[in-house]
Amino acid sequence: MKKTVTVLGTLLLSSRAFALVPPDYQDPPSDFRAEIEAGLQINTGNTESTSFNGRTKLVYDTRKAKQEAVIKGYYASDSEETTAEKYELQLQSNYKISPGYVFGRGDFSWDQFGSYTHQSTMSIGYGFDAISSYKTKLSLEIGPGYRYSQPIDSVDDPSPEAKSDVILRTAAKFEQRLHEYTSFGADLTGEIGEENTTVTLDMGLKSILFQDWAFKIGVNVRYTEVVPAGSEQIDTISTFNLLYTFQ
């Protein structure tokens, strides 16, 4: 009799626990999301070179606000010296209103071999979602800002003075889901100033391999209207990375 009561009690408790936690239960979606991607290339033999690039994106999205941080790094070297070294930090805070959002943003870059070794841009403005569906997303932003730029040393000007400029920043952020496992994204940003104008296009094609892992091909093209003597106006970076997403 005691054994029977014990078995019945165990079954009763198990059924209650099963009712409280059904088999298809999933944790509620998190407000936090992160992406980490990296790519490494090493060449040996006739060509001795190494290149590495990495990117981390952190997003905290709530009902009233959205915080976003992006960190990027690029490095390349051959058998004799470093040939490329660049780091970028992007911070943006959105406060949601109806419709759209107001934002504050900071862009910072350090490029040892670029036409400008250091650039800082601070901007504020207004943005809104022009398209927001499951397959297609498009947001537009506009606002004033301030840019500080330090030109690279050159033979003509071994100690160049830093330049500052009031700018108008415009941006378009586009994302298209091609099918369930593949998506395409493109960010186009323009900074129009009296002293200088820059246009940056950042594109990426992402294909999910399994679960939270994906393969991503990216291209970053930056055009700078006014550059120091001996520098190119267009800088291009191509990446082939493995990406991991968690939330």
- Please write the tens of the pLDDT for every residue from 148-158: 999 988 777 77
pLDDT at 28: 54
Closest CA to 207 of 173, 238, 240, 236: 240
User: What pLDDT, on a 0 to 100 scale, did the predictor assign at position 153?
Assistant: 85
Residue type at 50? Answer: T
Task: Answer whether residue 12 shows pLDDT above 60.
Answer: no
Give me the pLDDT at residue 49, please.
81
Domain presence at residue 15: no
User: Does residue 128 lie in a domain region?
Assistant: yes
Give the whole-angstrom CA distance, residue 247 versus residue 118.
33
Distance CA 12, CA 102 (A): 54
DSSP state of 29: P
116: in domain: yes
- β 49-61/197-210 pair status: unpaired
Q: Write the CATH number for 234.
A: 2.40.160.40
Domain span holding position 209: 27-246
Q: What pLDDT was estimated at residue 160? A: 87
Question: Does the residue 141 lie in any domain?
Answer: yes
Residue 4 domain flag: no
Q: Indicate whether 107 belongs to any domain.
A: yes
pLDDT band at 38 (very low <50, low <70, confident <90, very high): very high
Q: What is the pLDDT of residues 69-127, one digit of tens each?
A: 999 999 999 878 898 899 999 999 999 998 999 999 999 999 988 889 999 999 999 99
**pLDDT band per the 50, 70, 90 thresholds, residue 6:** very low
Q: Residue 50: inside a domain, yes or no?
A: yes
pLDDT of residue 229: 84
C-alpha to C-alpha distance for 163 and 158, rounded to whole angstroms: 15
The tally of domains found in the chain comes to 1
> What average pLDDT is seen over the chain?
87
| 144 in Cβ contact with 165 (< 8 Å) | no
Q: Give a yes or no: residue 193 inside a domain.
A: yes
Q: Does residue 9 surpass a pLDDT of 90?
A: no
pLDDT score recorded for residue 157: 75
What pTM was computed for the model? 0.83
